[in-house]
A and B are shown apart, each in its own frame.
Chain A
Amino acid sequence: AQSVAQPEDQVNVAEGNPLTVKCTYSVSGNPYLFWYVQYPNRGLQFLLKYITGDNLVKGSYGFEAEFNKSQTSFHLKKPSALVSDSALYFCAVRDRDGGYNKLIFGAGTRLAVHP
């Protein structure tokens, strides 16, 4: 079965510093990978996805993610963190089961950006 792991429960970063939120995946076949962000008591918002092509994917709000096939990783990055980036971040992988498509989510990583 497909799965993703987010090894860090929380990441702390100072405002203006670069940030990385880690994600590793386990899939059979080519992976379809996604990042989402969640603010308190809200639904998830799509940030970016990797389907095929360039390993560096650019998304919303200045975020980008690097797909690394050899390390089975899809880390989320941003060159300069903002306090407003503080939120819960989820990595997800598409699972295809019996012809049906669904996303499998990691446990989430809480990002705290300090002024």
Chain B
Amino acid sequence: DGGITQSPKYLFRKEGQNVTLSCEQNLNHDAMYWYRQDPGQGLRLIYYSQIVNDFQKGDIAEGYSVSREKKESFPLTVTSAQKNPTAFYLCASSMDRVDGYTFGSGTRLTVV
């Protein structure tokens, strides 16, 4: 079945550590996105990529980094510069400008 896979489902990070969240899709979608979800704040865009080797900062990119070396993969690194990383992270992909998104099932990151 085609879809988006996010891993791990739960992730715990110690203060000062970098962690990487995986996002893989087999839908042959060109565009991929990372959102952060906090209670009562909806979804906020972190980074997005329309094609391989190109990505753009979203509204809350500080403390995060991404890469897009392959069409299928768009990993997100939460760096130690992100002061409040505890949140639910959602990856999505889309085919074109009128298409909706297909979402992964999310990764819940907790700082311990």
Partner-B contacts on A (CB < 8 A): 9, 32, 34, 36, 41-46, 49, 51, 90, 94, 96, 100-108
Contacts and interface: CB of A to CB of B under 8 A. Distances in A.
Interface in B85-112: 88, 90, 92, 94, 96-98, 100-106, 108
A59 B101 CA distance: 15
Interface residues of B, number: 29
Contacts of B92: 43-44
26 contacts: A32-B97, A32-B98, A34-B100, A36-B101, A36-B103, A41-B88, A41-B106, A43-B104, A43-B105, A43-B106, A44-B103, A46-B101, A46-B102, A49-B98, A94-B97, A94-B98, A96-B97, A100-B50, A101-B96, A101-B97, A102-B33, A102-B48, A103-B33, A105-B43, A107-B40, A107-B41
